[in-house]
Structure 1
Amino acid sequence: MQNWLTDIMNEFGYMGIMFLIAFENIFPPIPSEVILTFGGFMTTTSKLSIIGVIISATAGSVIGAIVLYIIGLQLDVERLEKIVGRWGHILRITKNDIHKADAWFDKYGPWTVFFCRFVPLIRSLISIPAGMSNMNVSLFLLFTTIGTLIWNIVLVYLGASVGGSWEVIVEYMEIYSRVIYGILFVLVIVLLYLFMKRKK
């Protein structure tokens, strides 16, 4: 994989990084942690600069987020109501639940988008519910860009600072991901339990 990334970054430079990150946001074949830390490492062995890698990676992230946001727009509240109207009795979800969730996202959406940018995998998928709730585009882009920029700066600088040992950062990020997933799993179980208890 290292040779493949090296070839893309050497041949296409910043455009290659932007494409890789945009593609990773929509369909993650390679985690952004790998691309960003390796991109940081490449600044020590090529003409790529840290600022250039950060800017191109951030642009790619925003492009990918916009695509997922548009997908979310196609799954708006009205369409969800139709789905719930047909299958809600099986899922034990009502139209009122949909409206409550939509109202919650309207209230806390911007900060949810921001903080989710630091959670692997979810950092990309959060764009879909943002679109579903018709979150203000300007706010979505602002919080997406800020959160993504911070994430990119940290990982690119780490990749540049450790040089050839960039894979060590990836290993630590895998541990970070597992911890976050574990916390989210427990949180989802608790929320499901409270939801089912309220329904009964």
Structure 2
Amino acid sequence: METSETLGGIAQWAVDLMDALGAPGAAIAIAAENLFPPLPSEIILPLAGFAASRGSLGLVEVIIWTTIGSIVGALALYGLGRWLGAERLKRIADRMPLVQVSDVDRAEAWFAKHGGKAVFFGRMIPIFRSLISIPAGLERMPVWRFLLLSAAGSAIWNTVFVVAGFQLGEHWHIVEDYAGVFQKIVIAVVVIAVAVWIALRVRRIRRERRDTAPTGR
């Protein structure tokens, strides 16, 4: 597959895989992206769509194979979460500063109620696309349900980006630019949320220590 510009890094690696293996190469790249979130699907998927627009790969073939790759990667992280288990996570949380076992209990209760929606929509949000598989495994969501929700969410995400790359052709990188903005917004929201949570938790701990401290006469 040739492009009008010189590719480098991740993009060139993905192109080399697709040149060597065809659509299954795109599946391998996407499976790796699920396991290593810094590998951006926002580059790999439009590139695969561009390859389809040049006739190197079939459009439907690319969508199917990339979705298979997404499922394989998600299943690996689901297995990691299932191996870790909620009880082991609680023991880890008990040793961590600021984190309490009750936090894990609340997260479990939330996931028990909203886990299906979290997995489905999480597959369409940068960063969370990969990580959402771990709590699903931790909470032992039935494998068939996890696979169904992951496949549905991944198919939507993959189709949007592959078709965008197909339609834009040599200008596929425009997709990456817009997706990059979305990803930065998500990262900013996460950083702010974590910072607020830490500030509130530190404030609460200090208040509890002050309230329980012995008072001098």
Q: Please, what TM-score do these two structures have when normalized by structure 1?
A: 0.89
Structure 2: runs of 5+ lacking an equivalent: 1-7, 209-217
Deviations 1:51-73 (A, max 9, x none): 11000000000000000000011
Which residue pairs with 1:169 in the alignment?
Answer: 175
Does residue 159 of structure 2 align to residue 157 of structure 1? no
Which residue pairs with 2:125 in the alignment?
Answer: 119
Q: Give, as a single letter, the amino acid of the residue that structure 1 aligns with 2:135.
A: P
Q: Give, as a single letter, the amino acid of the residue that structure 1 aligns with 2:34.
A: N
Which residue pairs with 1:47 in the alignment?
Answer: 56
- Number of aligned positions between the proteins: 197
Question: The residue matched to 1:67 in structure 2 has which SS?
Answer: helix
Q: Give, as a single letter, the amino acid of the residue that structure 1 aligns with 2:105.
A: H
Which residue pairs with 2:184 in the alignment?
Answer: 178
Higher helix fraction: Structure 1 or Structure 2? Answer: 1
Structure with the bigger RCO (C-alpha within 8 Å, sep 6+) is 1
Q: Give, as a single letter, the amino acid of the residue that structure 1 aligns with 2:30.
A: I
Label 1:195 to 1:146 Cα distance change in 2 as closer, same or farther (>3 A): farther
Q: Please, what TM-score do these two structures have when normalized by structure 2?
A: 0.83
Label 1:178 to 1:74 Cα distance change in 2 as closer, same or farther (>3 A): same
1-side partners of 2:14 and 2:176: how far apart?
Answer: 15
Does residue 115 of structure 2 align to residue 106 of structure 1? no
Q: Are the counterparts in 1 of residues 14 and 26 from structure 2 also a CA contact under 8 Å?
A: no
Does residue 14 of structure 2 align to residue 5 of structure 1? yes
Label 1:162 to 1:84 Cα distance change in 2 as closer, same or farther (>3 A): closer
1:19-168 equivalence runs, <5 A? 19-28=28-37, 30-85=39-94, 87-88=95-96, 91-168=97-174
1-side partners of 2:175 and 2:101: how far apart?
Answer: 44
Q: Of 173, 180, 188, which residue of structure 1 is paired with 2:194?
A: 188
2-side partners of 1:182 and 1:195: how far apart?
Answer: 20
Percent identical pairs in the alignment equals 39
RMSD of aligned alpha carbons: 1.9
Q: Give, as a single letter, the amino acid of the residue that structure 2 aligns with 1:83.
A: I
Question: The residue matched to 1:43 in structure 2 has which SS?
Answer: helix
Larger-Rg structure: 2
2-side partners of 1:196 and 1:177: how far apart?
Answer: 28
Which residue pairs with 2:214 in the alignment?
Answer: none
Q: Are the counterparts in 1 of residues 98 and 198 from structure 2 also a CA contact under 8 Å?
A: no
Label 1:197 to 1:184 Cα distance change in 2 as closer, same or farther (>3 A): same
